[in-house]
Amino acid sequence: MTTSAKTSFKIGVLGCGNVGAALVDIVKSQRATVLARTGLDLDVTRVAVRNMSAPRDVEVGEGVLTRDALAVVTDPDVDIVVESIGGIEPARELILAALEHGKPVITANKELLANVGAELYAAADAAGRDLLFEAAVAGGIPVMRALRESLQGEPVTRVLGIINGTTNYILTKMTDAVDSGADADYGAALKDAQSLGYAERDPTADVEGYDAGAKAAIIATVAFGKKVVAGDVYHQGISEITASDIAIARRLGYVVKLLGIVEQDPQSEEVSVRVHPTMVPKHHPLATVRDSFNAVFVEGAFVDSLMFYGRGAGGAPTASAVFGDLVDAALNLRAGTHGSLGVLGKATIRPIDETSAEYLLGLDVADQPGVLHAVTGVFAKHGVSIRAAEQEGKGADARLVFITHVAKEKDVQATVRELNDLDVVLDVGGLLRVIGD
């Protein structure tokens, strides 16, 4: 390790959208504070953009803007690179080029890391430079730093959380409507989220769980030291969640949330990574996380349980996390060291069919004798034990609601398929997984 006497660091930023522009402002406003606390003088000297003449919410000096992103990452006067352009290419090529030129890199690019992160982490180690990505998972919430540093020696068993603000906002609005007796319509809640800027015009990545899935893959990689990619993640979104699902959950003492869940079996070391709507007990800390806020719950063998809560998205919170990484990278560069995830092992992914949980299932059934016996017989045939059962309504409107004991996914799915074939079952409602206390 060689310590550098250098105290002034020039920053090159790739992209000047919400996050890039907010970062430039933070670097300016906090420059004197960081200098006083750390002795580091940080200055953004190059910013690569696609359109030089586009209006921006931030002012930069003459000659700072450029269309040539590669020139920024290879500029010998640029010490640290921040990537905020998103996507896989050309972000991947630019980050590799920056590392090859000895520059630490900070990124908030979850799609990139969830797909080719292992390649980039290895390149950073080979170059002896930082690749930091606090903002890629939960905006301004410092969960990545906790997993990489504070919990590095902790045998983490499970991480679960609300890691997409759009879906949490939609489910909060639907839940509030159910509680007030109003119409809890998914489409209306989605339009509301879009009008507030929480949801994109095409909300698929959010509402179908792909955004949360990319974050879950990154969390699993860091928490367990295994190579986990986006394709390893099971996804189920919230577009099929109904007011009836939410109402049943509320009556039984639960709140419906879209959770990202990563687990490692301590014996087999198999890793399970999934995103799906989940019934969370009302007294669980995650049940109280509302609107567009995020929260991540970490469970470990020694530390027990920890929760990280805050703004999971938005230009300023995300840029705050990027800025924290920027200061760390400059400190490490001055000290001649860098952070590392170490050697990542090969992950053995547990298929969703082999995972276990409690489940809630609602059935619309015919009004005739023997219905309950026929239905419960199907559960018993597939080894799925019923923990609680109740009937809603009477006559033609009768609906049976079941909560199972812990059961394997494949057994529950086999039960659902056979129930669909029963003449006395008119409709099988949505299947919701339940987390324990």
On the question of pLDDT at 151 being above 60, the answer is yes
Residue 56: the pLDDT is 84
Q: Which residues of 209-228 are buried (b: 16+ CB within 10 A; e: fewer)?
A: bbbbbbbbbbbbbbbbbbbb
Query: Homologous superfamily of 151-311 in CATH?
Result: Dihydrodipicolinate Reductase; domain 2 (3.30.360.10)
pLDDT number for residue 61 = 85
119, 122, 127, 131 alpha-carbon torsion, rounded to 10°: 80
pLDDT tens-digit map of 271-298: 999 999 999 999 999 999 999 999 999 9
Q: What is the mean pLDDT of residues 383-393?
A: 90
pLDDT given at position 5: 75
Strands (E), 88-155: 105-107, 131-132
pLDDT in the model for residue 430: 80
- For residue 327, the SS3 value is helix
CA–CA separation, 137 and 85 (whole Å): 16
Whole-angstrom distance, CA of residue 93 vs CA of residue 147: 27
Q: Is the pLDDT of residue 1 over 60?
A: no
- For 164, 237, 241, 361, the CA distances from 275, given in Å and listed in that order, are 10, 8, 14, 18
215 catalytically annotated: yes
* The pLDDT value given to residue 433: 97
Contact 385, 405 (CB under 8 A): yes
- Choosing from 103, 110, 173, 215, the catalytic residue is 215
- List of residues 6+ apart from 288 with CB closer than 8 A: none
Cβ 210 vs Cβ 188: under 8 Å? no
Q: What is the pLDDT of residue 437?
A: 66
Residue 301 clears pLDDT 80, i.e. is over it = yes
pLDDT band (50, 70, 90) for residue 429: confident
Task: With a cut of 90, say whether residue 52 has pLDDT above it.
Answer: no
Mean pLDDT of the chain: 94
The percent of residues in the chain predicted with pLDDT above 70, rounded, is 98
* pLDDT on residue 62: 86
* Mean pLDDT score, 399-422: 96
Q: Each residue of 180-211: pLDDT tens digit?
A: 999 889 999 999 999 998 889 999 999 999 99
**Residue 116 is encoded by which pair of tokens?**
């080719």
DSSP tag of 306: E
Q: How confident is the model at residue 2 (pLDDT cuts 50, 70, 90)?
A: low
Side chain identity at 320, as an amino acid letter? S
CA atoms within 13 A of residue 132's CA, in its CB half-sphere:
29
119 in helix, strand or coil? helix
Beta bridge partners of 14: 48, 83
The CATH fold assigned to 352-434 is: Alpha-Beta Plaits (3.30.70)
Residues 102, 83: contact at Cβ < 8 Å?
no
CB 42 within 8 A of CB 9: yes
- Per-residue model confidence (pLDDT) at position 3: 66
Residue 231 has pLDDT above 60, yes or no: yes
- Percent of the residues in the chain that have a pLDDT greater than 90, as a whole number: 88
Which of 138, 117, 319 is closest to 222 using CA atoms? 117
Distance CA 387, CA 363 (A): 16
Structural tokens at position 282: 């009302």
Q: What pLDDT does 397 receive? A: 66
Residue 130 scores a pLDDT above 90: yes
Task: Give the domain ranges of the chain.
Answer: 8-139+315-343, 151-311, 352-434
Rounded mean pLDDT, 127-141: 96
User: Do the strands 8-14 and 41-48 form a parallel or antiparallel pair, or are they unpaired?
Assistant: parallel
For 396-425, give the DSSP string.
GG-EEEEEESSEEHHHHHHHHHHHHH-TTE
pLDDT at residue 398 is higher than 80? no
| CB-based contacts of 384, cutoff 8 Å, min separation 6 | 359, 404, 405, 407, 411, 412, 415
What is the rounded distance in angstroms from the CA atom of residue 138 to the CA atom of residue 118?
A: 20
Residue 102 confidence (pLDDT) above 70: yes
Query: What is the second-level CATH architecture of the domain 8-139+315-343?
Result: 3-Layer(aba) Sandwich (3.40)
Q: What is the pLDDT of residue 285?
A: 94
Q: What span, in angstroms and rounded, lies between the C-alpha atoms of 219 and 145?
A: 11
